[in-house]
Structure 1
Amino acid sequence: MKFRDLRADEVECRVSTCKSTGCSLLLYKDARCDMNILDETVGIMGWKRHHELINGNLFCTVELYDSEKGEWISKQDVGTESYTEREKGQASDSFKRACFNLGIGRELYTAPFIWIPNGAVKMIKQGDRYTTYDKFKVSEMEVIGKKITSLTINGEKSNEIVFKWSEKQNDTSSQKITDVKQRALLDFCDENGLDINKILESYHLKEICDITERQHLAIIKYGNQYKDKWGVS
């Protein structure tokens, strides 16, 4: 049995990490999305679910009726608790994970790394950490062969595009970073005790404007792991 791909309006965005330079996002689906797809694909009488505790962990089993074999086919997975409602969070999470096992929304695992730079998102400093109250939505998403091939994300309030990516486009990883990203990168270096001159030297570059998108992504993602090499003396 093959389930259809998720539509853009069925995909949610969650802020994953926040820094002074911006934030990263993760894509996810909610339990209602899974229930709707199950209903439309096999009918409300064609599937069932139940939960059970195993070694203190809540598992969900989702079963689909195979009319050819005349039996129920099941997939099971465990959930993790939410920060607000433990039991409800575990039940919902285990159900969504079991549905991933069935193939519903599995394309979300192929999403690209999503980074929203400061300027496109409002960062708020709380003590030594950064956070944001901005929310985002997926406005466009193309899936081919259970793989996301293009993705556009907008700010929920502004409705402005804050992230746009396509596998079909010419490779933009060799393009130079924008002025906004240059300033954000300098802030990132100051915040994390990194020397931009050492970074430029390691990439054999003369100016920060020579940094490419691929190099910028690597610096943001792995900068703290190279403090022995890039750290301020």
Structure 2
Amino acid sequence: MPSIELKIENSIATITFNRPETFNSFNREMALLLQTTLDNCKTNDEVRAIVLIGSGKAFCAGQDLNEVTSPEQNPGFRKILEEHYNPIVERIRAIEKPIIAAVNGVAAGAGANIALACDIVVATEKASFIQAFSKIGLIPDSAGTFFLPRLVGFQKASALMMLGDKVNAKEAEQLGMLYKVFTHDTFEEEVHRLATQLALMPTKALGLTKRLLNESMTNTLEEQLNMESELQIEAAESEDYQEGVNAFIEKRKPVFKGK
């Protein structure tokens, strides 16, 4: 079975981490395949929303330690970061389509931080998040030190990363790490409902919003206002804007095409 599975249906691309026997931990093959799959979703006009989810009981347990402790297979940490995790996070932020992290179980280490890099994070009530790096003498990677402090604040992020506490789904929601928690029984249904809602929305406008949010991390107020002006003009030239206005005037539900 491939370590990454892709299913495209009704404009939704579902990317499944598929190494359940290792709690979907990353090896080199899985990391590179995920990058290729994300690239395919980026260029495929049929795809208007993306879901990342894990098979089995876990979302993703981070790096497969069997790989890094193997004399034959160990790529080395520089290669792991520069060729595996950094490109994955960069792709998640660069794809101008909404990406949902559907955290169906434990999300640890790089797995947790890849989830936090997504646009919308939802979780089953059985999910948990762990900054597990300090447990084995490492530092957080996969942009965890970038996103987590912005989501929960500097003090809380510092404690979670240094102590390696397990955060359950409800606490993660209260801290601002994720959007919503769903019951285990309704999780797949709720994820599909959310992805369907996003796939039917004006994809170009959502993509431009994502670009603005990315730039807001470093822009000054003046730079952000100027960028909003430029991208609002671009959005107003889209077919979806015209459809949205016409639907409002005609008192009907808009039918967006993502153009």
TM-score scaled by structure 2? 0.24
**Which of the pair has more CA radius of gyration?**
1
TM-score scaled by structure 1? 0.25
Q: Which has the higher strand share?
A: 1
